[in-house]
Chains A and B, each alone.
Chain A
């Protein structure tokens, strides 16, 4: 610890000394070894010097040598001599108390020990015994006049009484004064460099040479700047514009200055003006109730009709700042520059004008308007209906395995014919001279003579049937014709045509001799045409064109309509070719009807005669069969005008559910459709003789009455042959007559 201090003091004192000495001093200041080395060197020197002298005046030589060595020594000695008293003068705090050797450490480390450090010999210094309790302390405080200046020395644990000077020092330091009493912090300042020009220079230093010579570096810089200015890299400062910021911009409004672009301009719509609900004190009805508030919170922010919750404040002072104000302005900004604009014409239509002007239903009478009769008796859903050509009798087939014959006017069930199976289809022979009903039961068609009405008539029918003479050679037939047994005969069944598969539909030709059946099967044997008088059947199609839904004969011409799922094909039976293919524009055709054109069904006319002849001139009504309606399971009704195109002339979407059946009236311009929604819609369908005038279709009545059972409503619809009445059969097991 002492050495570096000593060296420092050395340095201070021996400023002028050369570095050699200081180096020497550094290498060995107080080591004896180095002095020994010096002595050796000295000896070597002696040796060298001895050789040239060769023993001449050795003492003389010795003297300078000695003096040399001495000359080197004295400064060293001096320095040592000077530093010796310094060592004691210096009063470092480190050396003040050398009794404790722990060094400059926090004394708390010794708190828990009985000793407080170690003395020079390594022995513990014990803490002075302090057995003063609080009372002693207090007494001391009271009695000892120097108590206030007694301080405990942390290093030794001993109490020290501060002297007056020390107390003064503490006071001064506490006040923020300098520790030294004699130090004056506010000595008068002496300005060496004042603003006054002196006659003498402050320094006596002669001016540098460079102050007389132009600077090369500056020259280079200037030339660079000049070059930059010349090249236009540095531009002179722009003159301040003195034009006023605002002036009359529209002083010369030139209407021609409107650019063409302004024609395409779509001005931004103005912000919506606030309504009552935005008021700080709105009428109470505009405030949201609890549920509305909840609903508002759950809505997406984009979906909300109001972008704020209406609120009521008692007075203007209570109104807070709106937290989304900046947001809303920002959104407006975004709308202005980001939102694509398009000019949209607001539809300013009176909704009443959109409703088409149709003739009033009142002017289109007669048509059925009210439910007149209900024919009850069937225990299950009534699938099919048929009216006798005279219009006196009604036959209905049901899922309960019976066919019932009703008198139309009285709703009396005249006859019940159990057939032992679900009756899928029933058809009364359209020839008024023959009293025969074809009934589809499972795999066979029963030809039934209901024995109703004129006895002559049904007797004649029986005679006709019995007069059949089987041909000599049996022809191969797809079906079997079986005459009824006597038991069956008594029930009215005359003939049974047994098919190989279940049947779907049976329909008569207008003349009453031929009838066609549809088999529920996807083969080429789906459609069969039978002749009653000759009791033979044939298959008109060689290939299957899809699942056949229903078939119909043209009322007068030798045409045959076959409806598959999506198309209606019209075949010419004479030429044996496809005439037309109608696109029904629907998914699944359910039923079909042909416009009979008001004549008496063409029952008496012969297809052969009519073929190829256009009887336009002599028929007051339009040619029959030019208009076809198709009902479909996707609740559409398609009206085809065969003269116009193979696509529907009109698609009517009146029903809400699948259509089950459609029907035309024989005389009146009416057609009806029955649907699963339990309604029958009667429409006026006027077909004009003039080919240029399109048919007029007007719905005239929605008839309700059937109750929905098993999601089924009306299953079949049939018009009365002469009266404007319509029969409907429903899934609720009833048949209803509307007149």
Chain B
């Protein structure tokens, strides 16, 4: 696979470009940019969902799909595995990454905390897109308590 820095630089520029074009610093404008980033991540995730699973064909249950996200998807995109996966066995999963590569160079603690969500929107979409190709409709949100550790919350939507 390619040098991870290439994707990191590209992602940095995507976030910067979307924020630079948006002259309205209020919550309305910010939300649009976050949605655009999430949409981009969604389409990339959809494609990756088709391309990635090669040997692992039998996803017997939801948990297997989530494990696939934590292991194979994370390794393919970020070259490391997710650090922890928790669930309430009722459709909500919390994926925790203690040193998320897109955040790890920014700070180790609380500096830049309010900027962090911008850098997580694309990845939320990525997770949602991959899940959607694998047949699971979901809602993904991210939260950061202290960089570079972050949590992605996946809530499965029952039809």
To the question of whether A and B form a pair in one complex, the answer is no
Give residues in B with beta carbon < 8 Å to A. Answer: none
Give residues in A with beta carbon < 8 Å to B. Answer: none
